[in-house]
Amino acid sequence: MKLGRRATLAGLIAAPALARAQSAPSLRELARRAAIYLFPIYEMYRARWRATVDETNPARQRLNRFRHVTTLADPRTRAVSMPNGDTLQSFAWLDLSAEPMFLLVPPVGDLYYSYAFLDLFTDTFATVSHRLNGGRPAAHMIVGPAWKGDAPGEVTLVRAPTNSVWLRGRLLVSTPDELDRLAILQTRVLLETPDMRNERRILETRELMRQRTQAPPEPVADWPAPQPADPFDLFVIGMRALGESPLSDRDRSQLEGLAPLKLAPGRKFDLRAFSEAEQRALRTGIEQGLADIRAAAARPVRTVDGWSYAEPHLGNFGDDHLYRAATALINLGVSEPAELVSIVGAADATGRPLLGEHAYTLTFPRDGLPPARAFWSLSIYEVMADGRAFFFDNPIARYTIGEDTPDLVRTADGALTLYIQRQPPAGERVANWLPAPAGPLRLVLRAYEPDPPLIEGRYRVPAVLRNSSR
């Protein structure tokens, strides 16, 4: 059968449109995968921008400098969901593109401390802590991925996978009367450039470093504001952030698999390179990827008796991009399990959601307290409509009960029963009262320097029992 010239021309004209239509599902799936891959990077960028650029942020800080929080989290603490109420915290955003940075922690004795380094992908690539470094840690020099050379003999070298690093520090507060002393200790934890370290050593010991660098210009945070209302901003910011550091082989391979999306680290994502139909496919894919992240965040990985246990690779996610993204959504900057295990309770023993309108008990048998070398605590949060959770005002300003909470009452057989309810329990039970909010609530059990049964998931938290008849 012969085709006429007009039919042939029509076929040639229709072919590109047909090819694009056929490729739309592929673009949609690639955009979904890219959204999941880039979301944690985007969230890290947003956190960094908020901390170092946003002029409306009253706690705005400079790059390569600590911001010390000298009070414990309370109902006013809204920066992150489920804030930690046990520790004084310190934060710093490092830019290692020009020179290394030094972290110096003074002698702390038996005090629990932890300084975790997170890369742009939210992996914890190094930690300075009592568990690893004891009470007299050495100085640590943190260098970017392109840095060449060795650290001075008495300094531990830490190589960062990305030039942008989030440093999160914690000092454990066992009792409120320790706050002033620990706030002073916070200020003695130093974050120094090579020249700052050199000048301090000249003053202290009259000794010069063996290697000295020319001081570069003071780093300034000048990144553009994220635009989360624009779904394509995920690609724009993602490529900008990925362009700040050399890519690993794994991430180069990841982007090669997304080649039809025209994502190039360090280059602006150009939406105009796609037709209107392709743009719709991209938008649909991004929206589906974000929906998958929200669903994964709402779906606990492992749940036993209403308590959700994290996977062992939490904090070092490898190729589990969905778990990485879901964690970034609800708990950005989570600690690695060897330092801190957090177990989340959202349901009672029968699987019913925890609600403040009911009264609950949680009983640890005499030999069944959380096995932790440093400290354990149980915190209670009010759950917001968007799924985030925060401390809330209550009559006794108690948001956490821990092993050092004074005057806890045990039963005759040595068990510890906690009372989780809106109204105070009767008699001596009030000493073990954890006030509840009016609506949905969430419990978080934290164990610092956990023992292997907690890290490996062999220890199980007792079920929460509902006592209300309603």
397 and 407 share a domain? yes
Tokens encoding 386: 């968007």
Rounded to 5°, angle at Cα 372 from 370 and 375 = 95
Q: According to the model, what pLDDT value does residue 386 have? A: 80
CATH of the domain at 334: 2.60.120.600
Block means of pLDDT (10 residues each) for the chain, 470 residues, are 43 46 71 98 96 94 95 91 93 96 96 97 98 96 94 93 97 90 95 88 63 62 92 97 95 95 96 96 97 89 91 94 94 92 95 96 96 96 90 97 92 95 96 97 97 93 83
SS3 152: coil
Say if 60 falls within a structural domain: no
324 inside domain: yes
3-class DSSP assignment, residue 457: coil
Residue tagged 């991925």 (tokens): 145
- Number of domains forming the structure of the chain: 3
* Residue 215 lies inside a defined structural domain of this protein: no
User: Among positive and negative, which fits the CA dihedral 159, 332, 30, 223?
Assistant: negative
H helices of 5-136, in order, are: 5-52, 130-133
Whether residue 228 sits in one domain with residue 114: no
Q: What's the confidence (pLDDT) of residue 206?
A: 60
Q: Evaluate whether 434 touches 378 at the Cβ level (below 8 Å).
A: yes
Q: Are residues 259 and 304 in the same domain?
A: no
Sheet holding 190-192, edge to edge: 155-159, 139-143, 101-104, 190-192
Q: Give the residue from 297, 321, 347 where a domain finishes.
A: 297
Helices (H), 355-466: 452-455
Two tokens, residue 28: 């949609």
Rg (alpha carbons) of the chain, rounded to whole number: 26
Of 47, 306, 64, nearest to 163 by C-alpha is 64
pLDDT value of position 354: 97
Tokens 């960094």 appear where? 48
Q: How far apart are CA 238 and CA 231, in angstroms?
A: 12
Name the DSSP letter for residue 225: P
Same domain, 156 and 243: no
Compute the distance between CA of residue 158 and CA of residue 173 in angstroms, rounded to an integer: 28
User: Three-class SS of residue 181?
Assistant: helix
Residues 437 and 424 in one domain: yes
Same domain, 260 and 289: yes
pTM: 0.87
Task: Determine how many CB atoms are found less than 10 A away from the CB of residue 292.
Answer: 18
* pLDDT the model gives residue 231: 96
Q: Report the b/e string of 103-121 with b at 16+ CB within 10 A.
A: bbbeebeebbbbbbbbbbb
Confirm if 446 and 84 have CB atoms less than 8 A apart.
Answer: yes
Q: How far is CA 117 from the centre of its chain?
A: 11
Q: What integer pLDDT is reported at residue 9 of this predicted model?
A: 39
Q: What is the Cα–Cα distance from 111 to 177, expressed in whole angstroms?
A: 15
The answer to whether residues 195 and 79 belong to one domain is yes
Q: Give the separation between CA 101 and CA 155, rounded to whole angstroms.
A: 12
Residues 287 and 306 in one domain: no
The half-sphere exposure of 380 on its side-chain side, counting CA atoms within 13 A, is 30
The residue among 273, 297, 321 that closes a domain is 297
The residues with which 362 forms a beta bridge, in sequence order, are 418
What's the confidence (pLDDT) of residue 197? 86
